[in-house]
Amino acid sequence: MESASVPLPHGAAGGHAAQSHHHGPPEANQSSRIDRQTLGILLFIVSEVMLFGSFFASYFFLRVVVHPSAWPPHPFELPVAVAGMNTAILVSSSFTIHYALEAIRKGNKSGMKLGLVLTWILGLTFLFVQINEYVHLGFSARTESFGTIFYSLTGLHGAHVFIGLCLLTAATIRAFRGHFDKDPEKHLGVEVPGIYWHFVDIMWIVVFFTVYIL
Amino acid sequence: MKYNEAAVFKWVMIFAVTVGSAIALTLLAGGLVGALYALVLAIIGCVYAYRWTREWWHNARDRPGGPDYRP
């Protein structure tokens, strides 16, 4: 492929160092409306929504077609109150990550660090409560199709929470190292995990309503 | 539309309120009523999303580089 190069006028200062020949293929087109990182996370979230969609399809198939009578089947019982408390924890964590981002948009780095730490603590609390719930449920993933789909759906979400915690860990460490700034391009490392965390929150609200309430 | 965390947070709030209302209705009136209400909300959401894509496409066509752009 012919490499693009910009010819410089004779006598340009700096000699060879000043001649910037571009080698290789031309620069990829970058949209002026959305940056690559944000587009990337949004596309990833769309693909994960499809994945959750397939698990929900399986859930409703088992519930409506296979077991049209009582659901959960006897003697299964779900701890709705504990899950409700967990929902409140996760929704709160959405507020804290939003606070962190609003803080850094205004140049408040201390607020950003506080928001990130609080979000991380709330996320970890959610995960521990979920694991504790698994321990005390009284049935396993192998106990009939109900057990399988319950653990599959909530476990898939728990895995996403864990990934979100890993992203938040990286963002928090970088925040304390002073990597982020007021400029939107300089705090994408918080913006992208923030968007992902909101997706995790929204998905849990849907899972909670479908599995525990409906 | 701005594609940032603030825009996503706005949708988190909308989701929380609408699904919260579905949860409240389900606890008060039973599973069938809640499921029907959730279905209505889902249909409204799909209609809104469809109209948003049409508006987005219309705006994109008029921008520089789009098929309907006139300098």
Q: Is the pLDDT of residue A29 over 80?
A: no
Chain A residues within 8 A of B35 when measuring between CB atoms: 214
List the single residue in A with minimal CA-CA distance to B8: A195
Tokens for A109? 């780095």
A183: which DSSP letter? S
What is the nearest CA distance from A17 to chain B, expressed in angstroms?
36
Average pLDDT estimate for A14-41:
72
Interface contact B52, partner A, CB < 8 A: no
Q: Is the pLDDT of residue A1 over 50?
A: no
A98/B5 CB distance under 8 A: yes
Question: Could you tell me which residue, A100 or A64, shows the higher pLDDT?
Answer: A100
Contacts 24+ apart (CB under 8 A), A53-59: A55/A149, A55/A152, A55/A153, A55/A156, A56/A153, A56/A206, A56/A210, A58/A149, A58/A152, A59/A149, A59/A153, A59/A210, A59/A211
What is the nearest CA distance from A9 to chain B, expressed in angstroms?
32
Highest mean pLDDT of the ranges A1-5, A32-36, A169-173, B42-46: A169-173
Q: What is the C-alpha separation between B54 and B56, in angstroms, rounded?
A: 5
Do A126 and A89 form a contact (C-beta atoms < 8 A)? yes
Q: What's the pLDDT at A32?
A: 66
Mean per-residue pLDDT over chain A, rounded: 88
ipTM of the complex: 0.80
Ordered domains of chain A (ranges, CATH): 36-213 (1.20.120.80)
One-letter amino acid of A47:
S
**pLDDT tens, position by position, A172-191:** 999 999 999 999 889 999 99
Average pLDDT estimate for A110-115:
96
Q: What's the pLDDT at A31?
A: 67
